[in-house]
Structure 1
Amino acid sequence: MRKKKQECKSFPAWLTSFGDLMSLLLTFFILLYSMSTISLEKFNQVIKGLTSAFGGEVIFKEGGIPGGKKAGVNFPKMYPKMRTREEVEKQIAEIHKLLQKNGMKASVAKYGTEIKIRINTSKLFPPGSAEPYKSAIPIIKEMCEKLKAVELPLRIEGYTDNVPIRTKLYPSNWELSAARATAILRLFIKCGYDPKLLSAAGYGPTHPIAPNNTPQGREKNRRIEIAVELPQ
């Protein structure tokens, strides 16, 4: 007699063992999950940490997150304000007009990805001092308010002429130039500019923009420069 043909092929032997293994693993993880507990405090800390890393903030009310409700998440710094070069140059042009209107000698210079506001120090600081004139402080603050609108990194640089200075406070022009740059930086912080976007440097008599052999040239070299990093 001929054997009856099988209607369906039998499964491989290994497949039965594999199915049993998957069932046991699933049971094991269900058991672990049933035994685990979730700490709401730790959960809140994890959410806050992840959100802060992306520039946001989570505010939990007292008692944590109510059941079935969502936590409010704000991202004030995740999407920074984008400024065009035209907007930045417009603000700097207004600052230039402001300085000239108040009798300060100023100019604007472009250097690749930066634009600099050059301000003569004759009406900013008394000779040999890093304490701004009282009359100059409101102008510096108004200049800061205009630059705050663009929220870009600023580098405040101090320069002097080549006439040596030697006092208890400032042994050389290097210290004087750095102190003047820092004085402007402090006024910017006081008016609310983000300190993370500010830096200061003193270059003393180096990098002159005019010859130091005439009074007019030395006057041009005594200056503060505010370098604004242009958006790419």
Structure 2
Amino acid sequence: MATPKNVEEVEEKEDWLVTYADAITLLMAFMVMLLTFTKYDIPAFEEASAAIKSNLSGRDSTSPIQLLRIDVKDVVYNMQADQVVKVVTDDNGIVIELSSSAFFKPGSSDLRDEAMPVLEKMSQTLLAPRYQFYSIEIEGHTDDDPINTPRYPSNWELSASRATGIIRFLISQEMDSTRMKATGYADTQPKAPNRDANGAAIPENQEANRRVSIRVYPMSQAERKAYEEILAVREQKEFEKQAATEKKEALPPLEQSQGVPAK
């Protein structure tokens, strides 16, 4: 008959089996999850991966999407812009929503001076190496009040110009243009009804509908591969350019002419 001491020793030796079994169960669940993905959904994959890491390590693990949201919200908070910038997550990544009245001059795609510092801080965040393989899609939206000027014949031109205006600013901050695209939606995607049942304008809703949305999400496998190829070509061209410059600098100076024959 086993003594209490022997029983304790057996239990201690078998403790690792419980941890091992838990790990195997989690890994099996992970494999089943991969097999059930009919489409390679990177945000969902990252969220699930973070959850599994958290279970295995016993510590909280923040997913890249969550980290991105936290980083951008920190910028908004520190710049005291939370009244005019909203940051939310969707199925693909995060959405940074800018109030058009706060970032653009009325009826124009010209950025307000006071909007520049906020956009600069945001661009610095998005330029971080950990977000290098994230795409940036910028959408311009207007209310239903029509515009008709030489510069903006309709709300389509205004919304598209505001979206491309943000892109131009990000490019000026050294954001890679191949990561971005812009779309103007005019008044076709309102957040709330522009008018009531009687056709009267609802000013607060129109204000909410005048916005620019910056969608930031991880590149798909195909997008990342294409982007890496672009980066490789650029790197090769830069290498060749640098090599040509160094070769030119290494050449000896041309010998001075010894004189010009008299005519």
Show the counterpart of 1:182.
164
Moved over 6 A (4+): none
Are the aligned partners of 1:91 and 1:147 in contact in 2 as well (CA < 8 Å)?
no
Q: Which amino acid aligns with 2:98?
A: I
Residues 1:154 and 2:142 aligned together: no
TM-score scaled by structure 2?
0.53
State the Cα distance separating 1:230 from its structure 2 match. Answer: 3.6
Are the aligned partners of 2:190 and 2:209 in contact in 1 as well (CA < 8 Å)?
yes
Q: Which has the higher helix share?
A: 2
User: Could you list the runs of 5+ residues in structure 2 that have no partner in the other structure?
Assistant: 1-62, 196-201, 221-263
Paired residue total: 149
State the Cα distance separating 1:103 from its structure 2 match. Answer: 6.4
Residues 1:143 and 2:125 aligned together: no
State the Cα distance separating 1:92 from its structure 2 match. Answer: 2.4
State the Cα distance separating 1:224 from its structure 2 match. Answer: 0.7
Show the counterpart of 1:128.
107
- 2:154 & 2:78 partners in 1: Cα distance? 32
Are the aligned partners of 1:115 and 1:230 in contact in 2 as well (CA < 8 Å)?
no
Please list, as runs of the form range in 1=range in 2, the aligned pairs for 1:12-27 lying within 5 A after superposition. Answer: none
- 1:98 & 1:215 partners in 2: Cα distance? 29
State the Cα distance separating 1:157 from its structure 2 match. Answer: 0.8
- 2:160 & 2:75 partners in 1: Cα distance? 23
Identity %: 35
Show the counterpart of 2:89.
110
Please list, as runs of the form range in 1=range in 2, the aligned pairs for 1:1-232 lying within 5 A after superposition. Answer: 84-98=64-78, 101-102=80-81, 104-149=83-128, 150-151=131-132, 152-213=134-195, 214-230=202-218
Are the aligned partners of 2:65 and 2:93 in contact in 1 as well (CA < 8 Å)?
no
State the Cα distance separating 1:127 from its structure 2 match. Answer: 1.2
Are the aligned partners of 2:69 and 2:88 in contact in 1 as well (CA < 8 Å)?
no
Which has the higher Rg, Structure 1 or Structure 2?
Answer: 1
Secondary structure in 1 aligned to 2:186?
coil
Are the aligned partners of 1:121 and 1:222 in contact in 2 as well (CA < 8 Å)?
yes
TM-score scaled by structure 1?
0.60
State the Cα distance separating 1:140 from its structure 2 match. Answer: 1.1
Deviations 1:2-48 (A, max 9, x none): xxxxxxxxxxxxxxxxxxxxxxxxxxxxxxxxxxxxxxxxxxxxxxx
Q: 1:142 and 1:123, CA in 2 relative to 1: closer, same or farther beyond 3 A?
A: same
Secondary structure in 1 aligned to 2:95?
strand
